[in-house]
Chains A and B, each alone.
Chain A
Amino acid sequence: MTHSYSNTCDEILIVRYLDGDLEAGEKERMETHIEACRQCRRQVVALRAFSQDLRLRVHHATDSVDFVALEKQVLNKALRQYRSRGGFPRFIASLKYILPATVTAGVLLFFVYSNFVARPAPVPVPSAIINSFTGSMSSVMIFETPETRQTILWYNEDTDVKSEQNAV
């Protein structure tokens, strides 16, 4: 390299200069150096030209792309994604709230139902228990209720005052 300004003939400074990363004073010194140093000047010109060429290269590639068609493709895919997969995960995700709420509600309902609504019907108690019977009966009929299996005794007794008195 030509070293007419040897202190600033520095690759790192050249890179920072190309990036616009130098302070005003540093930049001024670098520009002075570049004017004097042919080799550094060539490097700067070559790297700048390459960057410009790269931008044009990408611009050239961009021009060949049909972005309108691509946009439609992306929108269609996103819509399909929403319909086919997007909706289901959202449903699954919503289950993490719905499921516990449903279980809690179920437990509460069961508690309320079993304690307040579905209380067992009061079992009818017998109106009297006959331990013994003396006297004469004209007829006796025995029934049993179908569900509670209560025995009902139905009888006709003769009109015997003594016997009537002995009935307990």
Chain B
Amino acid sequence: MSKTIQNRIVHDEELILRLQRGDEWAFQLMVRRFRKKIFSIAFGITLDTEESQDIMQEVFLQVYRTIGDFRGDASLATWLHRITVNRSLNWKRRWARRFRWLHVSTDNTDEHPAAEPESELPSPEIRMANAQTRHQIDNAMRMLPDQARTVFVLRELEGLSYEEIADVTGIKLGTVRSRLFHARKRLKEILQPLVEEGI
């Protein structure tokens, strides 16, 4: 079965039809095709590896349950993105996990992620190897409001256009622009010490 999956190109339209017929092979193909994308979005919003894995599984199981209701007014990818975003935001709304979220951000010794500017920026790979850098990024993202972070993640991680983001999130194009603007403005404030130091 895996050999077939690797070798054959199946377009989303055919994949949907097969899924609606309850084709197990199609389901496996869909999981393989979208698993990393879904994980990335979930992680970008939740910043939690374990929860993102759970969300990814929930998304696929929801698709499996409800594929019969899929009318095809959006692409399969858009539909998956939409479910992922909703599930990720719902995750944040759960009080216990929200507590953990807040707990992480306040318990961290580095409350101001960009408060210690680097005079010279090493390569991103080297910086990413540094746990402190990862914490700085996570904390900067946590400082963004949920909706602004979601739009920012869809734009920066998935490279979606404004129109696609509007489709996924169900908001107007102008609101997408506005949220993206506010996300970057807020990030600019957070990164301001770094900017002032001179890159």
Contacts and interface: CB of A to CB of B under 8 A. Distances in A.
B198 interface: yes
A49 B199 contact: yes
A163 interface: no
Contact of A62 (B43, B155, B188): B43
Contacts of B85: none
**Looking at chain A's contact residues, is the secondary structure mostly helix, strand, loop, or mixed?**
helix
B134 interface: yes
**Looking at chain B's contact residues, is the secondary structure mostly helix, strand, loop, or mixed?**
helix
Contacts of A42: 195-196, 198-199
Contact of B181 (A11, A46, A53, A73): A11
A77 interface: yes
B161 to A, nearest CB: 9
Contacts of B32: 71
A55 B157 contact: yes
A74 B31 contact: yes
Given A52-B124, A57-B134, A47 B184 contact: yes
Nearest to B153: A54
Report the contact-size class of chain A (Cβ under 8 Å from the partner): 35 or more
Interface of A: 11-12, 14-15, 18-19, 21, 39, 42-43, 45-47, 49-58, 60-62, 64-65, 67, 70-71, 73-75, 77-79, 81-82, 86
Interface of B: 22, 24, 27-28, 31-32, 35-36, 39-40, 43-44, 49, 52-53, 56-57, 60-61, 64-65, 121, 124-125, 127-128, 133-134, 137-138, 140-141, 155-157, 162, 180-181, 184-185, 187-188, 191, 194-196, 198-199
